[in-house]
Amino acid sequence: MTWKNAIKLKRLKDGKTKMVTFGLKTVMVGQIGEHYFATEGLCRHMRWPLAWGGKIKDDCIRCPLHQSTYQLDDGKVTEWSPFPLFPPYGKLLGKLSKQKDLKIYETRINGDYLQIEI
Ligand code: FES
């Protein structure tokens, strides 16, 4: 495990996320107030890139595709494919993949950069 520069701090905005890649690994980074976070970048349900439309609310990230929701501090699933527009469809899609938590990466600030341990 080594610390890698993920993104310049000035590119982050409060309540927003960005996608960064390290080789084949995709990581979502973001900021909530003075807190920075980094998680695996793809939803555990059907691999949608969470930074592409994912919404932060109540310290959780919600996938825009079928609305699976994960806590940003420990990656725990709080909802799995509820798909509120048509819950029976969400329930069916939810069964297509096993419910899994989101991987969380340690972060630190080094100079102008947010670094993650990867
Ligand atoms: S891909 Fe994210 S909830 Fe289905």
Output the CA 115–ligand 1 centroid distance in Å: 27
* CATH assignment at residue 107: 2.102.10.10
Q: Using a 6 Å CB cutoff, which residues line ligand 1? A: 43, 45-46, 48, 63, 65-68, 81
Please give the pLDDT value at position 67. 97
Q: pLDDT (tens digit, 9 = 90+) per residue, 38-91?
A: 999 999 999 999 999 999 999 999 999 999 999 999 999 999 999 999 999 999
Q: What is the pLDDT of residues 15-39, one digit of tens each?
A: 999 999 999 999 999 999 999 999 9
Q: Output the pLDDT for position 1.
A: 87
57-66 pLDDT tens trace = 999 999 999 9
Domain containing residue 106:
3-117
SS (H, E, C) the chain: CCEEEEEEHHHCCECCEEEEEECCEEEEEEEECCEEEEEECECCCCCCECCCCCEEECCEEECCCCCCEEECCCCCEEECCCCCCCHHHHHHHHCCCCCCCCCEECEEEECCEEEEEC
The total domain count for the chain is 1
Q: Supply the mean pLDDT for the chain.
A: 96
